């Protein structure tokens, strides 16, 4: 892994000629991701993020912490016990430099030894599940990391709207897999990561998977095609 996201975060924090990231998927063209967006404060976050941060409680694990903006808010503004976890070494170094007290650089599937009251997965948190075939693996891992009655706060987007429609309103969906399974590529300063599989989930599919793995689930809020869900360990 070239850790291009981490390099962009590192360059921005140290003011070392940062450039905007570029991302693309198997169904979308190249798109700019301004790196300063990853450093935004609470007031600049969208309604789903703000709602999730308000609902966070107890001992918290922020998975995919990036530059640490969510964890920083929980730690500094709400005085909560939060751990920032990310697979990117440079992102975690920046989290430390920004003052986050607890950090872990590890793949969530390899992490163990602690349990939490809230697990936070934001900015299309279902993306880490990779594909429908891997959802059970991830949900079982998250279940094991939760205390009794613990909660997962996770967001995603139903991307059905991105597909073409015919004159009768029917939707052209490629055969051979779930429409929310995409190849996702990050570009930075002329370099490209290897494509990863990134999963966007409609709520009903997430609901079925959550219930199958022992969770109660509720859709907390909806914003156009995106939503925030709460999964409770029961």
Each residue of 171-226: pLDDT tens digit?
556 666 788 999 999 999 999 999 999 999 999 999 999 999 999 999 999 999 99
Q: Tell the residue number behind the tokens 């009768």, with chain if given.
A: 168
CB 96 within 8 Å of CB 127: no
pLDDT greater than 80 at residue 79: yes
CA atoms within 13 A on the CB side of 203: 16
Local structure of residue 165 (DSSP, 8 states): B
Superfamily (CATH H level) for 4-159+173-233: Vaccinia Virus protein VP39 (3.40.50.150)
Each residue of 28-38: pLDDT tens digit?
889 999 999 99
pLDDT band at 165 (very low <50, low <70, confident <90, very high): low
Query: CA-CA distance, 183 to 221, in Å (whole number)?
Result: 27
Provide mean pLDDT across the span 93-110: 98
Cite the beta strand spans of 160-206 per DSSP E. Answer: 181-188, 191-192, 196-199
The two three-digit tokens of residue 87, written as one number: 């697979």
Mean pLDDT, the chain, whole residue set: 94
> What are the sequence ranges of the domains in the chain?
4-159+173-233
pLDDT at residue number 166? 59
Nearest C-alpha neighbor of 72 from the set 41, 36, 46, 115: 41
Backbone angles phi, psi at 68, to 5 degrees: 90, 15
The reported pTM is 0.94
């Amino acid at each position: 892994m070239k850790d291009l996201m981490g390099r962009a975060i590192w360059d921005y924090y140290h003011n070392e000629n940062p450039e905007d990231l570029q991302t693309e998927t198997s169904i979308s063209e190249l798109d700019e991701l301004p790196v300063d967006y990853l450093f935004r404060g609470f007031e600049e976050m969208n309604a789903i993020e703000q709602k999730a941060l308000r609902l966070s409680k107890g001992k918290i694990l922020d998975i995919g912490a990036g530059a640490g903006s969510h964890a920083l808010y929980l730690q500094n503004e709400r005085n909560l016990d939060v751990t920032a976890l990310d697979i990117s070494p440079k992102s975690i170094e920046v989290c430390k430099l920004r003052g986050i007290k607890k950090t872990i650089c590890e793949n969530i599937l390899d992490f163990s030894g602690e349990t939490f009251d809230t697990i936070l997965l934001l900015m299309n948190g279902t993306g880490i599940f990779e594909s429908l075939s891997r959802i059970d693996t991830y949900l079982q891992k998250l279940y094991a990391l939760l205390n009794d009655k613990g909660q997962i706060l996770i967001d995603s987007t139903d991307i059905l709207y991105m597909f073409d429609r015919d004159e009768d309103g029917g939707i052209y969906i490629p055969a051979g897999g779930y429409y929310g399974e995409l190849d996702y590529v990050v570009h930075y300063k002329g370099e490209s990561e290897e494509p990863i599989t990134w999963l966007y989930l409609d709520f009903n599919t997430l609901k079925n998977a959550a219930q199958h793995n022992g969770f109660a689930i509720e859709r907390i809020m909806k914003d156009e095609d995106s939503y925030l869900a709460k999964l409770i360990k029961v």
